[in-house]
A and B are shown apart, each in its own frame.
Chain A
Amino acid sequence: MSTRADAGQPVEYSPSKVVEGNRYGWLFVYAVLYIAFLYVPPLFLPLFSFNDSIYVAFPIKGFTFEWYRQMAKSTGLLDALYNSLKVGAVVCLASTLFGMLAAKAMTRYTMPGKGPMASFIMLPLVVPGIILGIALLVLTNQVGLELSLFTIGVSHVLICVPFGMLVLISRLEGFDKSLEEASLDLGVNAWKTFWRVTVPLALPGIIASIMLTFLISFDEFILAFFLAGNEVTLPIYIWSQLRFPAKLPSVLALGTLILTVTMVLVAVAEWIRRRGTATTKPTAG
């Protein structure tokens, strides 16, 4: 297979190149298969969102914007989207704030029980979502709290803080601790030092944490399923609509839009991260 791939290209008569070519041939096939496995399934979303048929199946019938029109008219879907955005926005800010405080404590202070504390904060990551969901539901009932977007938001903060903390710990460990000491040494108090040195230098991490935790909240199903009241988030709404085949294409249309926005966000986040590392790495000299 690889030799045929080589044959199509301009041939270079170097023994080492031939060996490399063979190896790259296999790796190339592996890489293509892997990327296809990752990205082809999501591509069905845009494909069928423009397909002029209620049934999500081949062959493709024709091109239409009908499902996007239906989506825009479906108040239930738009309400759910709005709820998800609202919860996500609050959750990402809250969990990044808590994550930042935890990360600062973990990286900058020595205190008794630091190790156990870190594992404790990480615990929601390893507890199965369904267990956590039931536990929180029981707790909410005991406390007498009404199920609402608020209860969903609180549960999302619980699972998002570890992610925020991990992202920010790696960021805070990435820059020289003496930068903060220098600020203190120059007469600036700890609080102002946090805002003038720590936050600007951790900014790429803060943005990454905000985006990551937003996406986790936006995407989260199990906890929302247990803790939702009358108002539902988007994943719950989509799941409830799967029973009605006629509604599915407009869900695909929404999915396509979310996919597009997500890809743009990820690209922006990566760009910010790269700019961040370029400006905080000191040049040797």
Chain B
Amino acid sequence: MATSDAIIKITSCSKHFGPVRAIDDVSFDIARGEFFSLLGASGCGKTTLLRLLAGFEQPTKGNIFIDGQGMAGVAPNHRPTNMVFQSYAIFPHLDVRRNIGYGLRDAGLSKKELDGKIDQMLELIKLPGFGSRAAHQLSGGQRQRIALARALIKRPKVLLLDEPLGALDKKLREEMQLELRALQRNVGITFVFVTHDQEEALTMSDRIAVISQGKVLQIDTPTSLYESPNCKEVAGFIGTMNFFDGTVKSMEEANAVVDAGPLGDVRTRPFAAKLPASGASITVAIRPEKINLNPSRPSASHNVIEGRMSAAAYLGDRSHYYVAVKGRNAPIAVAAQNVNAARSWLGGQDQPVWLSWREDSVILLDR
């Protein structure tokens, strides 16, 4: 993304809580109008980063700029950001209208103007006619929408969302993911979205920052993050990944042959700019859905291995299979869409199968 149009600039920012480095020397930009996700396991520092942006915490070191302005020492109420809290933080003593209009109480608007804005917001979150409801009469989904409206009515430059969908059930969550994405495009405000759910991040984001132990591992589009992770940790965190230790045998015109132990010689077509040297110890990674399952030996001369079906899980639209290979303890995960009935594979415990994959499905990572 063009750094010239960055709305948020984080420059070598650290936040320490006593001896704990919640955020450890982090630098990156977020572009104007972007849907940007902070993804990581719980305790990785993603919420701390969000709270640094909101102003609830001050960085121990480094700076944060929002729309060109340094945020050091700027209180939360003076920042051009608004937040949707994980708990939604709907004021229990105020009705829906007063909750949504809370941030504009001192804006000097006439009653009519304020009512107009609140009605607009109720329309936007598809809850018209809910204005007079008391806070305790709302469902989780409604609270989430009202928290959103309450933040958006301030027209912030950046909207911060702290796992806003975590408390909703699966179906509602998936609905809200699409709705939130559409809403973001609609209002054109930069969203910074914290989540631990990689699927959610992939569905919604323009770009994702994968965070672990207070450090940013990779910032990329969902596709790049999934298809070309830059390290083992990212590859393992986003989706499922089969890893094999290997040694580079030869390297010709960006085509590598890697001796991957039980897999035999794996041929790859690395698209990364960084090419491994011959003889280097590396990790070969293959996604489960990029492995084909064959009932008999396919005709290809390489990237084929024989195994035995050790377990299978039927998930409706797709199935997950675990195939045991000689010389390797962990079975290889394979995912297949159930285009045709999947039964033939399900029945055959210990049935011999052949795995095959294309050269461009293989990812090479540093060990």
Given A282-B135, A285-B139, also A184-B87 (CB < 8 A)? no
Are A188 and B85 interface neighbours, CB within 8 A?
no
Cβ of A279 within 8 Å of any chain B Cβ, yes or no, is yes
Residues of B within 8 A of A188 (CB): 77, 102-103, 105-106
Of the residues B77, B86, B150, contact of A184 by C-beta under 8 Å: B77
Chain A residues whose CB sits within 8 angstroms of the CB of B82 once the complex forms: 185-186
Docked-complex contact A182 and B105, CB < 8 angstroms = no
Would you call B236 an interface residue if the criterion is a C-beta within 8 Å of the partner chain's C-beta atoms? no
**Structural contact, B56 and A181, CB atoms closer than 8 A:** yes
Minimum distance in angstroms from B280 CB to a CB of chain A: 49
Q: How many Å lie between the Cα of A284 and that of B134 in the bound state?
A: 14
Which chain A residues in 269-285 approach chain B with CB under 8 Å? 278-285
The proximity string for A residues 42-65 relative to B, scoring 1 for CB distances below 8 Å and 0 otherwise, is 000000000000000000000000
Residue contact B76 to A184, C-beta cutoff 8 Å: yes
- How many residues of A are in contact with the other chain, CB < 8 A? 26
B90 within 8 A of A: yes
B92 touching A187 by the CB < 8 A rule?
Answer: no
Check if A187 sits within 8 Å of B106, measured CB to CB. Answer: yes
Q: Are B140 and A284 in contact (CB under 8 A)?
A: yes
> Does A279 lie within 8 Å of B90, measured CB to CB?
no
Does B83 belong to the interface (CB within 8 Å)? yes
The answer to whether A186 touches B102, judged by C-beta atoms less than 8 angstroms apart, is yes
Interface assignment of A189: CB less than 8 Å from any CB of chain B? yes
Which of A179, A187, A282 is the most central at the interface, judged by chain B CB atoms within 10 Å of its CB? A187
Contact status B93-A279, CB under 8 Å: yes
Binary interface encoding of chain B residues 81-109 relative to chain A, with 1 for a CB under 8 A from any of its CBs, else 0: 11101110111110000000011011000
Please give, as numbers and ranges, the residues of chain B lying within 8 Å of A279 by CB-CB distance.
92-93, 134, 136
Within 8 A of A (CB), among B129-151: 134-140, 143, 150-151
Is B75 an interface residue, CB under 8 A from the partner?
Answer: yes
Taking CB atoms, residues of chain A closer than 8 Å to B92 are 175, 179, 201, 279-282
Q: Is B54 on the interface with A (CB-CB < 8 A)?
A: yes
Q: How far is the CA of A188 from the CA of B137 in the complex (A)?
A: 25
A181, B89: Cβ atoms closer than 8 Å: yes
Task: Identify which of B75, B134, B140, B154 contacts A186 (C-beta below 8 A).
Answer: B154
Which residues of the other chain, A, contact B140 by a CB distance below 8 angstroms? 284-285
* B92, closest chain A residue (CB): A280
* Chain B residues with CB under 8 A of A187: 77-78, 103, 106, 154
- Return B307 CB to nearest CB of chain A, in Å: 47
Whether B93 and A200, one on each chain, are in contact in the complex, defined by CB atoms closer than 8 angstroms, is: yes
Nearest Cβ on chain A to B126's Cβ, whole angstroms: 17
Q: CB within 8 A of B89: which of A182, A200, A278, A285?
A: A182
The reply to whether A182 and B85 form a contact with Cβ atoms under 8 Å apart is yes
A200 vs B76: C-alpha distance when bound (angstroms): 22
Secondary structure at the A interface, as helix, strand, loop or mixed, is helix
Is there contact, CB below 8 Å, between B93 and A186? Answer: no
Within 8 Å by CB of B150, from A186, A201, A285, lies A186
Residue A107 interfacial (CB < 8 Å): no
Chain B: minimal CB distance from A278 (Å): 8
Q: Which A residues touch B85, using CB under 8 A?
A: 178, 181-182
Q: Mark A195-220, 1 if CB is under 8 A from B, else 0.
A: 00100110000000000000000000
With A281-B136, A283-B136, A285-B140: A185-B77 Cβ-Cβ less than 8 Å: yes
Least Cβ–Cβ distance between A199 and chain B, in angstroms:
10
In the complex the two chains form, what is the Cα distance from A183 to B56 in whole Å? 12
The one of B76, B81, B134, B136 in contact with A181, judged by C-beta atoms closer than 8 angstroms, is B76
Min CB–CB distance B159 → chain A (angstroms): 11
Shortest Cβ distance from residue B297 to the other chain A in the assembled complex, whole angstroms: 56
Closest B residue to A192 by beta carbon equals B106
**How far is it, in angstroms, between the C-alpha of A282 and the C-alpha of B135 when the chains are bound?**
8
Q: Is the C-beta of A20 less than 8 angstroms from some C-beta in chain B?
A: no
A182 to B136, CA, bound (A): 17
Question: Does A176 make an interface contact (CB < 8 A)?
Answer: yes
User: Measured between alpha carbons, how far is A200 from B78 in the docked complex, in Å?
Assistant: 24
CB distance from B329 to the nearest CB of A (A): 43
- Do A201 and B90 contact each other (CB < 8 Å), given the known contacts A184-B75, A186-B82? no
B77 near A176: Cβ-Cβ < 8 Å: no
A178 engages B102 (CB within 8 Å): no
Q: Name which of B93, B140, B150 has the most chain A CB atoms within 10 A of its CB.
A: B93
B103-136 with Cβ < 8 A to chain A: 103, 105-106, 134-136
Report how far A284 CA is from B135 CA in the complex, Å.
Answer: 12
- Complex-state Cα separation, A116 to B252, whole angstroms: 71
Which residue of chain B has the shortest Cβ distance to A280 in the bound complex?
A: B92
Which residues of B sit under 8 angstroms from A200, Cβ to Cβ?
93
Sample of 17 A–B contacts (CB below 8 Å): A176-B87, A179-B89, A179-B92, A181-B89, A182-B83, A185-B76, A185-B82, A185-B151, A186-B77, A186-B102, A186-B103, A200-B93, A201-B93, A279-B136, A281-B92, A282-B90, A285-B140
Q: Which residues of A contact B (CB under 8 A)?
A: 175-176, 178-179, 181-190, 192, 197, 200-201, 278-285
Q: Which 3 A-B pairs have the closest CB atoms?
A: A186-B103, A182-B89, A285-B139
